[in-house]
Structure 1
Amino acid sequence: MSDVPPVLALDALADRAAELDSADPLAHVRDRFATDHTVYLDGNSLGALPTAVLPRLTDVVQREWGELRIRSWEESGWWTAPERIGDRIAPLVGAAPGQVVVGDSTSVNVFKALVAAVRMAPEDRDEILVDAATFPTDGYIAASAARLTGRTVRAVPADAIAEAAGDRTAVALVNHVDYRTGRLYDLPAVTAALHAAGALAVWDLCHSAGALPVTLDAAGVDLAVGCTYKYLNGGPGAPAYLYVRAEHQPRFDSPLPGWNSHADPFAMADEYVAAEGAPRGRVGTPEILSLLALDAALDVWDGVAIADVRAKSLGLTDFFLECVAAAAPAQRLRPVTPVPHAERGSQVSLSCADAGGMMRELTARGVVGDYRRPDVLRFGFTPLYTRYTDAWRAARVLADILEERPHTRPDAHPDTPAGIRADAPAGGEREGTP
């Protein structure tokens, strides 16, 4: 295929995309979302809008808030929403009921989980391990937790965390999927290695939950956090969730003991007594509007098996990588997402010169992804609504843009894997959220 012009090579794959879509067992789920003609490949930053959300929020605002008002805390189930919605998320992360609570941001939940984990660890375990290339906030939070608890932070490459844990390690904060490269890490194996070293494991599931199987209970994970606005489609600013393994809940000592996590919240007691179970992870008044938007968004999972989601995710990313190979030579678009399925999340990252300019041009032509400095284009594949024809169209537009642009090579950074600078900052125009 190397002697065939990219446009012709890609056009030869169009029929296969249509065939794959016609055989897709999840094709009907796309109808549960508000979609248009845009190729939306940024669900790893912000998921699409489920159609059930607007009527649900309209009822919440007009009837539950507008008519029932304060009565809705009891009559509409507002007070118990964090646990009830947590139990809806639980199957998506491989957890039994009663271990997931929804509320606060991912950053706040990372802080709660890390400090609580350190407080559960023996006093002589004085270090917190973090992924050296983690999303910056996780690193900031880990440093703050270390200052608060008198520990130190040691940053190591993600693939070395299991081996790095030793008799001084209290806890490791680990990303299930790397937000830049889309690399998937072995949650059961890393958790087992940390436990063998006597350390606790806190997993960040932001880029995995809702896109691939997560096995928190089966793997013996201690604590986990995740956002709900990516693959769970909860909407911008949707509250995050906190998983605390049932056996750890009696010892979960939150650094943010709010009235909502009190054993008797309305006693207004001077002394704090923690509630039993998952409510220990709560802090203040729940974010009702965003919570109930998330509740409605989770309806899209009715009748959907996560195994089917994973199979389609791998199929989509395989097909997109094939299309990219046809679209351009490797010196112009170099995949940095691992090829082996066991190491791949649900996104494809490509190293490309002028990634920011390329993404702006892609967006102008109806293909929405995002980028990370200095040279990474990110494309997130949400199997519930992304089609194989979307993957093909994205590659086709990439080929058109590259054909119009001068031939420049991606920036090379030989000191870090796949050309990604570990110190490259996030943020900026059209870079989206993590």
Structure 2
Amino acid sequence: MSTAPLGSVRGDLAARAAALDAADPLAEHRAAFVRTDGVVAYLDGNSLGRPLLATRDRLADFVGGAWGDRLIRSWDEGWMDAPTELGDLIARVCLGAAPGQTVVADSTTVLLYKLVRAAVDGRAADGRCEVVVDTDNFPTDRYVVEGIAAERGLTLRWITPDAGGAVTVDQVRDAVSERTALVLLSHVDYRSGRIADLPAITRVAHDVGALALWDLSHSAGSVELSLDEHQVDLAVGCTYKYLNGGPGAPAFAYLAARHHGRLPQPVQGWMGAADPFAMGPGYQPAAGIRQLISGTPPIVGMLPMRDMLALVERAGMPALRRKSMALTGFAIEVADALLAPYDVRVASPRDPAARGSHVMLEHPDFRAVTAALWERGVIPDFRPPHGLRVGLSPLSTSFAEVAAGLGQVADLLTPR
């Protein structure tokens, strides 16, 4: 490609990005986020969301107020109820779920362990001894279920997704049987961004009497969800991606009300007891979703996501989803125009309804290119073996960032 056409293409893309930003009904919200000097394009919002300016004040107020002034009295003044109160907020804003079914407590890994163990143990009496999981799922999901299978003597039925990262309804149908206790899948594939057919796959699991557990880490806050409507049994997700809870922010777990009291979780702790301060000789579980709590809630870690949830609720998930599809669509448009001549392949679905809020690009040089991009203030992430993942957070990412960031990718791929 000669430099003249390239310059013309870049100019056209920059003009289109400016027009899209000018027409963006959510553009005003970008000013609510902390901006970093030297960062040209932050394209990793699906790994760690930007902090909000309001969060700086919230954290400072917490040290001087609820913690510094009220001290231990704050447990009676709100902290004890924070896991379920915040869980209900996430459920209302992001999950399409009624109150009393969601809790914020531990890391994604720990909550996933609790839910998987509860599900398989709850189905063991029916002779169900198999779990369906896919080979391309996020490592935590695979590692946790492998460990539980070894603990409980379960059989894992592995599904190998197609080249596009999709676990299909037919594949699940072929894998389940009257022996299946649980189907564990991610709603949005962490590499390709492909969205699984949650309603249909959940129905397939239910048709054979199995439970469905969905990992929502890459969809909560970017893809509209209706867990109650689609009769999802269990779900888990992190809060530091599109919910901007910060590094190590506690995760959430959803357990449908119809399963309360039937699927006891395995990590029995004092905060999940019916009367935590009775200090009794034996464990009696709390009623409802509170039973999923084990130890002392991570109160400080819960603070930042409150600001983001308030912002998401004001903007509305339908508007966020429209912006997400527009951003990822524009990223693919830029990749086709600037990067395809260097043999970059779009590894995400081109149908906007079939992808989450990130786009995977593939090229053999992308490990080195990603490192060089970070030095230039362009921050995507790399996923082996040769994927550059462009994560686009609807409320904090502009179309101009997408054009500028992927333009830098083209510069690094240009033969010298």
TM-score scaled by length of structure 1 = 0.90
Query: 1:32 touches 1:52 (CA, 8 Å); kept in 2?
Result: yes
| One-letter amino acid of the structure 1 residue matched with residue 74 of structure 2 | S
CA offset at residue 3 of structure 1?
11
**1:408 — aligned with what?**
none
Distance in structure 1 (CA, Å) of the matches to 2:374 and 2:8: 23
Does residue 104 of structure 1 match 2:106? yes
Structure-to-structure mapping, 1:177-326, within 5 angstroms: 177-326=188-337
| One-letter amino acid of the structure 1 residue matched with residue 178 of structure 2 | D
Structure-to-structure mapping, 1:30-429, within 5 angstroms: 30-36=30-36, 37-75=39-77, 77-91=78-92, 92-121=94-123, 122-157=125-160, 158-159=167-168, 160-329=171-340, 332-404=343-415
| One-letter amino acid of the structure 1 residue matched with residue 91 of structure 2 | A
Query: 1:29 touches 1:384 (CA, 8 Å); kept in 2?
Result: yes
The superposition leaves residues 56-75 of structure 1 with CA deviations (integer Å, 9 ceiling, x where unpaired) of 11111122222221111112
Distance in structure 2 (CA, Å) of the matches to 1:53 and 1:3: 45
CA offset at residue 296 of structure 1?
3.2
| One-letter amino acid of the structure 2 residue matched with residue 33 of structure 1 | F
* Aligned partner of residue 60 in structure 2, secondary structure: helix
5+ residue gaps, structure 2: 161-166
Query: 1:143 touches 1:152 (CA, 8 Å); kept in 2?
Result: no
5+ residue gaps, structure 1: 406-434
CA offset at residue 125 of structure 1?
1.1
Which stretch shows the higher mean deviation, 162-171 or 239-248?
Answer: 162-171
Distance in structure 2 (CA, Å) of the matches to 1:140 and 1:242: 18
Distance 1:360 1:123, change over 3 A: same
Distance in structure 1 (CA, Å) of the matches to 2:265 and 2:117: 7
CA offset at residue 4 of structure 1?
7.2
The superposition leaves residues 129-176 of structure 1 with CA deviations (integer Å, 9 ceiling, x where unpaired) of 111111111111101222232312222123323431111110011100
CA offset at residue 55 of structure 1?
1.0
TM-score scaled by length of structure 2 = 0.93
| One-letter amino acid of the structure 2 residue matched with residue 131 of structure 1 | D
Which stretch shows the higher mean deviation, 323-332 or 274-283?
Answer: 323-332
Distance in structure 1 (CA, Å) of the matches to 2:305 and 2:95: 16
Query: 2:342 touches 2:413 (CA, 8 Å); kept in 1?
Result: no
**2:164 — aligned with what?**
none
Distance in structure 2 (CA, Å) of the matches to 1:277 and 1:167: 28
Percent identity, please: 45
* Aligned partner of residue 371 in structure 1, secondary structure: strand
Distance in structure 2 (CA, Å) of the matches to 1:89 and 1:114: 21
The runs of 4+ residues in structure 1 deviating greater than 4 Å are 1-4
Query: 1:252 touches 1:280 (CA, 8 Å); kept in 2?
Result: no
Distance 1:167 1:3, change over 3 A: farther
| One-letter amino acid of the structure 1 residue matched with residue 58 of structure 2 | R
Q: How many residues are treated as equivalent by the alignment?
A: 404
The superposition leaves residues 38-96 of structure 1 with CA deviations (integer Å, 9 ceiling, x where unpaired) of 31110110000011111111111122222221111112x11110011111100201111
Query: 2:342 touches 2:414 (CA, 8 Å); kept in 1?
Result: no
CA RMSD of aligned residues (A): 1.7
Distance in structure 1 (CA, Å) of the matches to 2:372 and 2:203: 45
CA offset at residue 204 of structure 1?
0.2
Distance in structure 2 (CA, Å) of the matches to 1:328 and 1:225: 36
CA offset at residue 203 of structure 1?
0.3
Distance in structure 2 (CA, Å) of the matches to 1:230 and 1:59: 24
